[in-house]
Amino acid sequence: MSEIKWNEFLIPYSQAVDELKIKFRNLRKEFLEKNEHSPIEFVTGRVKTVDSIKEKMRRRFITEELLKQDMQDIAGIRIQCQFVEDIYDVAKLLHIREDMKVIEERDYIANSKPSGYRSYHVVIEYPIQTANGQINILAEIQIRTLAMNFWSTIEHSLNYKYKGDFPEEINERLKRAAEASFMLDEEMSKIREEIQDAQQYFTDRKRDLNNSTEHRK
């Protein structure tokens, strides 16, 4: 691994994460400014640590020469949504953007993993402007509901403790929790219009109160 200058190697990935977080947060703001429902609720991002990259290289038999093309999640963005339908709306938005190119998609919502994991993964090719010109890097965007994200965060924490080899009881409880989480999403989808109407009413009331306060000053 000594051949790779890790600090230098990770600079464009860090830049990509910073830029993409700003772009998706601005996209959310754009929907809200137009008084429309935003399919994006929260946006976070991270760059894989060097230790995590090395571990995955060993586990997946990825060579240094093929690292940039074979490891698609060195730069990672996570978009959280209120509803399952929002996930697919966000995926459509990614396809029509001209500042990135969708390379691969994996739908773990329609086809959940045996563990119960659900999410929608999109791998994009994203251009980065560097001192030496433009380079294209791969980044992975995970799109999921708030409920899916809660389950995934807990499962990820347990994975650190058990190294993926969960006791049978915990494994079964995680699966049941995943199903309960998805049932929650399904129920919320059934009353989605009511929820959105209530949220819009709250937003309008808050705006009216703010305007009224401003007029009294």
**Residues near 120 by beta carbon (within 8 Å), at least 6 away in sequence:** 87, 88, 91, 105, 106, 107, 108, 109, 142, 143, 144
> How many whole angstroms separate alpha carbon 3 and alpha carbon 20?
29
> How many whole angstroms separate alpha carbon 213 and alpha carbon 217?
7
8, 41, 85, 140: the active-site residue = 140
179 φ/ψ sector (left φ>0, alpha ψ -120 to 50, else beta): alpha
> How many whole angstroms separate alpha carbon 104 and alpha carbon 192?
29
Residue type, 64: E
193: annotated active-site residue? no
Q: Indicate which residues carry an active-site annotation.
A: 140
